[in-house]
Amino acid sequence: MFHRNQTVLALAAGIAAAGLGSLAAAAQAPAQAAEPPAVAKPPVASAAGPPPTLLGQFGDWGAYTASPGGKKVCFTSAKPANSKTTPSNRPRDPAYMFISTRPAEKVRDEVSIVFGYRFKPNADARVEVSGAAYAMNTKADGAWVKNTAEETRLVNAMRKSADLTVKGISAKGTATVDVYWLRGLPEALNRVGQECK
């Protein structure tokens, strides 16, 4: 069963509009849907309210907070350090990884990824870090850790590692490999943890 975030990706769209961080204006937002949420491009002004506030930039990771609907949300986000597509030179929207905390829902360190392309229905993706692989469910152009019980282990591995790899295959058959640097992630997560207790 999914308890997936309905707001963090929408809030991320406001980051670019407010000039608060390195996320591009093409950041994606999940639509209000059942499980898992569909992902769609938002308008420049987020319906979730004012844009997120940058708490700090830590290496490759920005830490943010916002209060859509009066409920505080904190998250950290980064874009891939490098990406590879096969076949090469296939067009793709920007990709991002998010780790979010929503105290009102008792959700902490929820990992989600915007891949920058649409998946086939019921397609899987995966995250690889420290020699372990984590399966991800997908919908539209978003992905979430399939077994939510593994999220704590994944985030702990990310805190201790230099990088991680994300793999997926688009609905058109393009294979992607994205590498995210993890420098600054522990500090960004600590800052988010201070803000959203």
Residues 6+ apart with CB under 8 A from 194: none
Q: Could you tell me the domains of the chain? A: 8-195 (2.60.40.1880)
| H or E element that contains 111 | strand 107-114
Full-model pTM: 0.79
Give pLDDT tens digits along the chain (197 positions).
334 544 555 554 444 344 444 333 223 333 222 333 333 222 223 445 678 999 999 999 999 998 888 889 999 999 999 999 999 988 899 999 999 999 999 999 999 999 999 999 889 999 999 999 999 999 999 999 999 999 999 999 999 999 999 999 999 999 999 999 999 999 999 999 999 98
Q: Is 131 helix (H, G, I), strand (E, B) or coil?
A: coil
Residue 111: CA atoms inside 13 Å, Cβ hemisphere, count? 24
Closest by CA to 176, choosing from 88, 67, 54, is: 88
179 forms beta bridges with: 82, 165
